[in-house]
Structure 1
């Protein structure tokens, strides 16, 4: 049975693995992926202090998101789907949970999203707008999309 639940601190390794496999799906080289693994590891602390949710079916996790909310703005820090589950609708279900339940309950009006070029169209299709590009934290000189999504409360 499909379920979206709050992640627990003990999910950190599973979520880190999903993030790594999901990013590797796009064919990045090993140097890039090693940097990704060290910079984007999901920590117990992040899960404990931020809105982090998983989508699962019969205890198998297919994806997750992590939302960072502070006084200035809110940013989507993590949004990853298992590679074998990409294109099956799990991302859209997670997105709907993010904006219609989590953002609304927290009073979030706008999300900032920094993403890979491959995922940009997914967010645009769901209503995000391009803010331009920012430099990647993983590779100097590599520019990646920055988007904004207005949450309709």
Structure 2
């Protein structure tokens, strides 16, 4: 079967939060670090109303999730997480393409990503450029690569 990009149901949010946690853990962070990130890696019901969220599904199994928030001409990529065993198989590209399409349709001209240092090469490879650093929302004093992707109209 083919990869399907769709909106998640509210009852899928706990599983999506778990997926984000598993995906973040591939970078080798310790338990204390991961627990500090749990809130930022979790979904709440209001996320479905206040942001754009999609999942990638194949054969009835969710393989990844993406979340963006759009304000005026800028979209912020809040989450893009893939099941560890399917990394580098196109799921991340498909979800980022969905985010780009939604951003374009809603008038955003760029997507801003505050990336995990391990994920930054992925964003650069698909066309994002470095735009400084941003403070982590979970770990005080930690700085993250800030990248910008221009949405072509």
Deviation digits for residues 13-59 of structure 1, max 9, x if unmatched? Answer: 11101110000111101111001112321111102321100000121
Deviation digits for residues 106-145 of structure 1, max 9, x if unmatched? Answer: 1211111001000001001111110111222222222210
Whether the 8 Å CA contact 1:9–1:48 is kept in 2: the answer is no
Secondary structure at the aligned position of 1:38 is classed as: coil
Task: Select the structure that is richer in helix.
Answer: 1
CA apart distance, 1:75:
0.3
Q: Give matches, 1:43-62, under 5 Å.
A: 43-62=44-63
* Unmatched runs of 5 consecutive residues or more in structure 2: none
Q: Give matches, 1:114-125, under 5 Å.
A: 114-125=114-125
* Unmatched runs of 5 consecutive residues or more in structure 1: none
What residue number does 1:93 align with? 94
Compared CA separation, residues 97 and 117, structure 1 to 2 (3 A) = same
Would you say how many aligned residue pairs link Structure 1 and Structure 2?
152
> Normalising by structure 1, what TM-score?
0.93
Q: Give matches, 1:111-150, under 5 Å.
A: 111-150=111-150
Whether the 8 Å CA contact 2:73–2:108 is kept in 1: the answer is no
Distance 2:106 2:73 in 1: 14
What residue number does 1:64 align with? 65
Distance 1:109 1:124 in 2: 17
> Normalising by structure 2, what TM-score?
0.93
Q: Give matches, 1:9-20, under 5 Å.
A: 9-20=10-21
Distance 1:147 1:64 in 2: 19
Distance 1:89 1:27 in 2: 22
CA apart distance, 1:72:
6.2
Whether the 8 Å CA contact 2:56–2:64 is kept in 1: the answer is yes
Whether the 8 Å CA contact 1:47–1:66 is kept in 2: the answer is no
